[in-house]
Amino acid sequence: MNGDAVLIAAFSGRSLAQSARRAGYRPYVIDAFGDLDTRDAAEDMRVIDGAMQTGFRTKPLIAALDELSRCSETTPIGLVLGSGFEDKPRLVAALASRHRLLGADATTLAACKDPAKFFAILDELRIAHPETQTAPPADALGWISKRIGGSGGRHIRDCRDQPRARPRRYFQRRLAGSRISIGALLGTEPIFVATRQWMSPSETQPYRFGGCVSKPEIDDRRLAQLTDAADRLAKSLHLVGMASFDFIIEHDVPYLLEVNPRPGASLDVLDTDEGDLFRGHIAAWSGMQIPSSFRHSSPARAMAILHADRSPLTLGETLWPEWSADRGTPGSFVPRGAPLATVFATGPTADAAEALARTRLAELEDLIYGHAKL
């Protein structure tokens, strides 16, 4: 390692950049926000304005990556991708032709995100999943519509009246229950750790991701059931490095909703002070032994996303608390409902950590709006 340069691209590159920095790497980052803490963690970075609204575009992204590569004193060891590429296998293939891709390739990404392929694989493996189809249901009651390759829950809508078939969308029977994600570090000796997730619904985005917490109370039988499903699917898809497997448990049956073959939100609550998750991800893609210390994280750690639900705003000079992250630069405009910041909390139990995170969401919202221009 010894301070190797590494390229990172994601809608929000903050958690990856911080983990890379903790692990001793020099992260060169591209994202859509350019938050203060991302800039602090990055060796250098470029912001692609509008990427959250339009998605990453091939030419601007490649130009930014090439520019960052030239800025590094040493050739970057490769490119790690975060969120923002789930629906862009062609772009991932283009990036892989120019940089060493330290993550899932276009073929793997398509297998994970194409509902026709993915749920067929689950059927072959006898892994339970919600009833899913590409054609509109005859009766919309109890169904939701999802965008292929969507992430963060912002793309999910309840079906109403007579839904129509739309390009890049599919339909799924709605389930209700507890949401458990299995975070994985996949290599010669795979490691699986559970987190609990929750939603932060708004009027227009009822299934928006809200946060997650480590060390949820799960009995050994259930945990073994979830990790077995994740392990079998990971082997079938030939997944390597960081990944996450999202389940919802209804009537004592765990249903697999999706797999993200990349670093996800749980990185914030599962990583160590030494960046073992990022270090392990690089090691797995280099065929080396991965560290295992992150499985012993204590106490419980929670992260929660604050959204600009009160109103759109322009950020002012804010005295950010130490337990906050994704801190926008003064003068940044944040549309109504967009991600505004992230809060962290720890506690002796998952419930305690989540409760403190929710309290801090309210505190930070008051603080930000108190200094903002509305």
Mean pLDDT of 105-113: 94
pLDDT value, residue 2: 60
pLDDT value, residue 162: 82
| Domains of the chain with CATH codes | 5-102 (3.40.50.20), 112-296 (3.30.470.20), 300-371 (no CATH)
pLDDT higher than 70, residue 292: no
pLDDT-based confidence at residue 295 (cuts at 50, 70, 90): low
Question: Which of these, 200, 182, 154, lies nearest to 304 by C-alpha position?
Answer: 200
157-178 pLDDT, tens per residue?
Answer: 999 888 888 888 999 999 999 9
Q: How many residues does the chain have?
A: 374
Structure tokens at 304: 């929660």
pLDDT-based confidence at residue 297 (cuts at 50, 70, 90): low
- Between CA 193 and CA 130 the distance in angstroms is 23
Mean pLDDT of 305-323: 97
Q: Please, which residues bridge with residue 214 across strands?
A: 195
Question: What backbone torsions phi and psi does residue 14 show, to the nearest 5 degrees?
Answer: -60, -55
pLDDT-based confidence at residue 293 (cuts at 50, 70, 90): low
Between 373 and 39, name the one with better pLDDT.
Answer: 39
Structure tokens at 88: 């862009």
Question: Quick check: bond before 335 cis, omega within 30?
Answer: no
pLDDT-based confidence at residue 253 (cuts at 50, 70, 90): very high
49-71 pLDDT, tens per residue?
Answer: 888 888 999 999 999 999 999 99
Instruction: Name which of 53-57, 75-79, 208-212 the model is least confident about.
Output: 53-57
Mean pLDDT of 348-369: 98
pLDDT-based confidence at residue 288 (cuts at 50, 70, 90): confident
